[in-house]
Amino acid sequence: MSLVKRSIFISGGNSGIGLATAKKYKAEGYRVGICGRNADTLNPLKDEFQVYKLDVTNLEAVKEAVEDFAKDGLDIMFANAGVGYAHKTQKPDFTQYRKVFDTNINGVINMFEAATEVFYKQGHGHLAATASVAGLNGLPGVSAYSGSKSAIIKMCESLRIDLKQFNINVTCVSPGFIDTPLTQKNAHSMPFLMNADEAAVEIFYGIARNKDNIYFPKMFSSIVRILGLLPRSIYRLLMSSKKFNYSKK
């Protein structure tokens, strides 16, 4: 009798952290499903993973894909898809705010909803979502991004409490600067930059150990967390200095 493979579904699995994590789980013997919006990057991956082209903000499409993948099992849902800023600015672009929040928050909610429908029935499962250390403090120039990632951090914390009774674990992944297509657009310096393969290792073992939060790179995330302990007036003064404020007016 052959053993049933454990399985994971990863949104935004066609590039960056998502793709590196998909490859890591595949190497560890998992059955892996990925989804993304870009057919050009998804199609070459069809031989490695179960591939679904969809927009995570479309709940109906998400549920259809997850239901199809889960026919052969679903152990982990990694809601990783997200968007950032092409150009950082101190002048709010509220149209961009809505796009960032729709993908970074509603996209995670949609993936979680589809997965929990499966997990409730089978009596177990693990939810994970990509937030960011940017969600630990309000960063200059990326207010919507910081806000959206902060929401994910707190939502995951609450869900970890609420879903324990259903034998569903919840992990929040908060990276710092990772070398991905998203961060390669940044014009500013990125201290402690980590490559995506290293990030995938942190994610794999963090989820395996059922950690509530996974922070990396460790040195950078520690610095950001310490900044969060400062009185907010001092923090805002520090972030307003030219040394830290990398946004453009």
Q: Which of 248, 214, 224, 223 is nearest to 137 (CA)?
A: 224
Q: Residue 161: enclosing H or E segment and its boundaries? A: helix 143-162
Phi first, then psi, for residue 120 (nearest 5°) are -60, -45
Instruction: Tell me which H or E stretch contains 213.
Output: strand 213-216
**Cα(131)–Cα(215) distance, integer angstroms:** 10
The residue assigned the tokens 């950032």 is 84
Residues 6+ apart with CB under 8 A from 94: none
Among candidate residues 25, 30, 52, 145, the one labeled active-site is 145
Give the DSSP letter string of 64-77.
HHHHHHGGG---EE
Let me know if 145 is a catalytic residue: yes
At 112, is the secondary structure helix, strand, or coil?
A: helix
User: Would you please indicate which residues are annotated as catalytic (active-site) residues?
Assistant: 145
